[in-house]
A and B are shown apart, each in its own frame.
Chain A
Amino acid sequence: MTEKLRLVEAVRDTLFAEMARDDSVVVYGQDVGRNGGVFRATQGLLDEYPNRVYDAPVAEAGIVGLGVGLGVYGFTPVPEIEFSGFMHQAFHQIQQHVSRLRSRTRGELNCPMTIRAPYGGGIHALEHHSESFEAGYAHTPGLKVVVPSTPADAKGLLTSSIRDPDPVVFFEPTRLYRSFREEMPEGEYTVPLGEADVVREGDDVTVVAWGAMRHRVLDAAENVDANVEVVDPRSIVPLDTETVLESVRKTGRCVVVHEAPKTGGMAAEITARINDRALYYLEAPVQRVTGYDVPYPLFAREDDYVPDEDRIRRGIERALPE
């Protein structure tokens, strides 16, 4: 019998497994030790690996910057940033050092770091705890950017990320941490980075979505008068453009859904790739259903900011024939 796990438990399980497999893996970050992480993603790790799990001071630039040193030395740092909203404090390290160490040393040095951080809204959190800034990291060459949407994907993608020789930003959707359980694939399980999942097949319209939005899209797909194909790219960088294009060539219509603001978001990039390589297959303009171009509101207004089923359904309908 395989176990049914929540997403946060899948992350924890994977950390245990990778630390057991590879003794170069070092887990550290704010409150990850004794407290087991503010979301409990590292619970129990410290007891099992007292010399490879560390509580860190409140210093994101330090946490990521130290990881460059650890990585170069030969460790595999897996730091946790408590909330991705506070990764901005480390953004200069990520953008100026982590992402380009390999290219500036002509492949001689690398930083095999996996920076884990909760991302996205939906848990009525404080300011700066709910934004999605994946486009900012995607705009930083040299990084891989991964967003799992299910417990099994969390396991498969985190395993691949930790084993990847390049730095990976691994965004865990907070809203999904404890929202449902899923049966886990047994034993060793990896999902390659850069391979989208066609979650639902259909021929009328393609909807691309990741993180918590994938599940909202699936709900919305049940309630529109069309046969919706849902593609979850699972990694933003590398983006499985081929699978998206293949789907769009079949359906002729596309909607991209994300929580981040519209302007400069990943939907714009995906739309551009479709325009580049599948424009003549399109029977309607690609639609975007996104957060608004206003600061992510405190939670009294949050439900109206993040795309809900209704907005997603209307977005799909706009892509369909009149």
Chain B
Amino acid sequence: MPRETAYELSIDHVQVLESDGSVDAELEPDLSEDDLLEMYWTMKRSRRLDERAIALQRRGELGTYAPATGQEAAQVGSAHALADEDWMVTSFRETPAYLARGTPPHMLLWYAMGMEEGSATTRESRNMPPSIPVGSQALHGAGLGWAQEIADEDAASLVYFGDGATSEGDVYEATNLAGVFGSHTVFLCQNNQYAISVPRAKQTRAETLAQKAAAAGIEGVQVDGNDVLGTYAVVRDALESAREGDPVFVEALTYRRSLHTTSDDPSVYRQEEEEEEWEARDPLTRFETYLRNRDTLDDDRIADIEASIEDDLREEIRLGNEGREAVDVEEMFEYAYETPIPEVERQRAAFRGEDRD
């Protein structure tokens, strides 16, 4: 018997804004000047915060920090598509996304200073705290999206993870379960080309990561993740679909231009030529050219924005340090359980020196 095609698969690639700042007018999303400026401001603020954070880490004031430099478009474009009632579920490199959702920089600094105060979040913010175990949060995003389906809420959940995370069972389980349960979930895979030192090609033999959606029976789409307009448009549409109970897997093609974390040395595993090639595709330069072309920005306005970011970050770093100096160690006993349990209270008393260990 001849073989027949049982299933055919193709993955769309979307791009709106080119490296040279030119734009596909047909696909260009209808964003207001304010929206565009806000996205630009957040991207720039995030990149500058990365620089400041690395410097603080080098001075011993911060622990491990994972810079998002190069990934600003993928994150700000996608986070900007979220509505207030949507949930955001992050990994450990989502500085731009948190900033886009209104989290103040000093909280991100607190987390990097080793303080739980930085991962504290309010229910109203609908932001989950950062998740360090790679890929584990994808299931939480699928669960929130499932809850939205059960509750028949007109809202969605956006979950961030990296290319490496797609190798973890949790990510496969999350996409599969989301499909089964009609979760209102968008899976945003930032394919930044490396999982620490391991290049994408060694993570999977699959041609695209978006096609991983196919095994779960959900839609997969690829977008140029250095294109903030394209990422915005694709994720906006994906969220619409998710709100109807059709989860989507978006692969945003991007590049981690800096270190994996402050304890990493990319020169061991990366070539300079590759880094230069991606520098030419930088998301911020591209967006800036676009905004200049449409007269939203000029030298003076950029200088103003940069100055306002410097002022803002100076104040935020001050707040960060102030919080660090005021940290109350004993609070570690406070939150382990809602109602204190006797043994932990005994240990707290011993810690205070009131009682013996």
Contacts and interface: CB of A to CB of B under 8 A. Distances in A.
A59 B163 CA distance: 12
B203 A34 contact: no
Interface stretch (A72-80, A270-278, A290-298): A290-298
A126 B324 contact: no
B357 A31 contact: no
Interface in A24-68: 30-31, 33-36, 38, 55-62
A179 interface: no
B269 A34 contact: yes
A91 interface: no
A292 B332 contact: yes
A124 B357 contact: no
Contact of A299 (B114, B133, B164, B170): B114
Interface residues of A, number: 46
A315 interface: yes
A300 interface: yes
A289 B356 CA distance: 11
B196 A292 contact: no
Central interface residue in B92, B119, B197, B335, by most chain A CB within 10 Å: B197
A17 interface: no
Interface in B113-127: 113-116, 119
B204 A294 contact: no
Nearest to A124: B63
A290 to B, nearest CB: 9
Interface string A84-119: 011011000000000000000000000000000000
Majority-rule SS of B interface residues: loop
A250 interface: no
A58 B202 contact: no
A35 B351 contact: no
Contact of B347 (A85, A88, A292, A300): A292
B332 A301 contact: yes
Given A126-B92, A298-B114, A300-B114, A293 B164 contact: no
B25 interface: no
A128 B132 contact: yes
B161 to A, nearest CB: 10
Given A35-B269, A304-B351, A294 B195 contact: no
Contacts of B333: 292, 294
Nearest to B344: A293
Interface string B231-268: 00000000000000000000000000000000100001
Majority-rule SS of A interface residues: loop
B146 interface: no
Central interface residue in B116, B170, B357, by most chain A CB within 10 Å: B357
B343 to A, nearest CB: 6
A302 interface: yes
Size class of the B contact interface (CB-based, 8 Å): 35 or more
Contact of A302 (B64, B114, B169, B197): B114
A262 interface: yes
Nearest to A57: B167
A318 interface: yes
Contacts of B336: 293-295
B163 to A, nearest CB: 9
A294 B92 contact: no
Contacts of B133: 85-86, 88-89, 128
B183 to A, nearest CB: 22
Central interface residue in B169, B332, B351, by most chain A CB within 10 Å: B332
B332 A30 contact: no
Nearest to B263: A38
Contacts of A226: none
A318 to B, nearest CB: 6
A159 B85 CA distance: 56
Interface string B9-25: 00000000000000000
A61 B136 CA distance: 13
B204 A35 contact: no
A127 interface: yes
B195 A59 contact: no
A43 B196 CA distance: 15
Given A38-B196, A58-B203, A297 B332 contact: yes
A133 interface: no
Interface string B301-339: 000000000000000000000001001010111011000
B116 A298 contact: yes
B74 to A, nearest CB: 19
Nearest to A305: B332
Contacts of B64: 124-126
A301 B351 CA distance: 12
Nearest to A261: B347
A299 B63 contact: yes
Given A89-B170, A297-B114, 8 more contacts: A35-B268, A38-B263, A55-B202, A126-B63, A293-B336, A298-B115, A300-B114, A301-B327
Give the 3 A-B residue pairs with the shortest CB-CB distance, closest first. A299-B114, A35-B197, A57-B167
